[in-house]
Structure 1
Amino acid sequence: MKVLTVIGARPQFIKASVVSRAFKDIRPDVREVIVHTGQHYDANMSDVFFDELCISRPDYNLGIGGGTHGQNTGRMIEKLEGIMKKIQPQWVLVYGDTDSTLAGALAAAKLDIPVAHVEAGLRSFNRKMPEEINRVLTDHIAQILLVPTEIGRQNLRNEGIADEKIKLVGDVMYDASLYYKSKARKPQLPIGLSDKVSEYVLCTIHRAENTDNRQRLTNILHGLSDSNVQIILPLHPRTRSKIAEFDLGIPENICVIDPVGYLEMVWLEANSRVIVTDSGGVQKEAYFFGKPCVTIRDETEWVELVDAGINQLVGDDTNLIAKSIREAKFSLLNSNIYGQGNSANMVVDLLNQ
């Protein structure tokens, strides 16, 4: 059997790594062909990155990125179609909600190749987000929808998707967090901060809805400032450029560091007191490491964490951001929201049926 895996952003490489490892461990007869669209160029996408994370290097790198959503998606479809015709896979495997996800699904559908979607069923119910459009369309194209939670399964049922297509497998990111936690490494921190690692709050800000809106970004920075706690902020390039463009200052309690690699990020998450983020993946990783999460968005696709009371949506409300950081606690009896850490094996098994 041949499986063609389409990925385009670093989080997808991490998710795909555990599934690729499962193919090798339990289905060595499967030939997996990995295509990186190039949607997110990252200097860390080097031989060192692949070696450290034990990730198979892509068989193809399309080098597509830097354009608009429409430009990128169209170019990806065209190039992916050619590769699929050449490889003739039995399955096309896509992850998450990027333009690469949708392009892979559309290219496969046009060639009548079955699609399996990992992280199916997520909904923020905000159609202004490109990711939401990608999720919905990919789910309605796919033949197997590999959902991480019961809520995801119900979302798909509500949209009329047949039950036999929906498979509850848990979250492959939980598999990844278990595997990489022991490999995490401490990043280089400013002198004086290293001795207080158990007291800091970790913050990430990168979504356009926050960075490209001067008032929202100002409110968020004020909320972080008013929390009066030590905050470590690995500063995303987009956020850095917008802070400069809007002539905003960095509050004194925020320690800005350069963006870190995945293993350093895992260490920062695992050793923090609270995590503040607008990232979907980091919300889940906060849960995996037993940290309360304050989410600077108006909605989230990971609603089960909000329902459990360990993730609080605060938007750009300055007072609520500060209050939530100071009072955040992690208390949860059910520790298996996202499965048992064997999601990748379940994905591989289902593709063999």
Structure 2
Amino acid sequence: MPPQQHPQHLAPPVGAPAHADPRHAADRRRFPANPFRRSPGRKLRLGRIALVVVIALVVGTIGGVFYFDNKLHRVDALASYAGRPGPTPGTTWLIVGTDSRADLSQADKDRLATGDGDGSRTDTIMLVHKPPSGSPMIISIPRDLYVEIPGNGQHKINAAFNFGGPKLLARTVEQLTGLRLDHYGEVGFGGFADLVDAVGDVNICIDQSLNDPKAGLRLKKGCHDLNGTQALGLVRTRAFPNADLERVVNQRKFLSALMSKATSPGVVLNPFRLVPFVNGAVDSLTVDKNDHIWNLVGLAVALRGDPTTTTTPNAGSQYTGDGDSLMVGSNTEEFFGYLRAGKPIPDSLIENNGGAIE
């Protein structure tokens, strides 16, 4: 028998496409097209949307960086002068904490227990030094260190800021250490408290109870999440047997803890923490005219780990025309000599005892 033929009325017209065949239509009914299969056009649209999102994020990030960079307060702190040290190995920041109350309302002064003093003096002087290799260092320079202040004779080093502001203090520190300063950062009472509040409190453990009405501080022994007011009281208090020498230890440890918190995922990945912190930092800090927001980011990252912390070695106390002072000694010169040479500091010159922060 001849092969079975499909009825003529079911056959596609001559020249019609294959999909016009009713038999294919029946197949399509039995096996519908995959609804999740993306057409080339849809893929192209999704790719364009993703590209636009990426570009928007990049442009927004770059725009944010320059926006905050332009908001930074700047001063001519690291000016050139005859006899200035040449470039030294590594990178060195001069970090200054002042007792300025200029931007504080009376309510702020009462809340922070700052008193009503006029003028601006340096409560904190630190060097943050990142050597060519090895861990960064936080070096406290005691405010009672008796040094030569250019054009003013010998005085306690904190007088340099009062005599000539950031520029004279920076020059005094360079002449003392022989290091060329690369960056400058300054923060007042109110700015420091705002930074701590913006980052969302900082967890600190202390090995003794502290009660210092002058600093507005009352903390029990143990661990605490310190807000800005409490943190300011902790780094200001001198209620220790060795007063300022123990206070600077607390200041170094708190600075490291603050930077660790500021660079933690809980802050960096949370825009509700990151943006207020960055905004608070640029509003609170004063930097050198050549410093930028990315320099501050580098500083924070350098301090987030486990930096070596120490106090500048000295020859002990002596009574001077400025009262009880700490004298520069041969160990002071030896200490900074290692830094100038880019060499590690021997353990015998590292001093990190005292204070209350564990």
TM-score, normalised on structure 1?
Answer: 0.24
Based on CA coordinates, which of the two structures has the bigger radius of gyration?
Answer: 2
Using CA pairs under 8 Å that are at least 6 residues apart, name the structure with larger relative contact order, 1 or 2: 2
Greater share of strand residues, 1 or 2?
Answer: 2
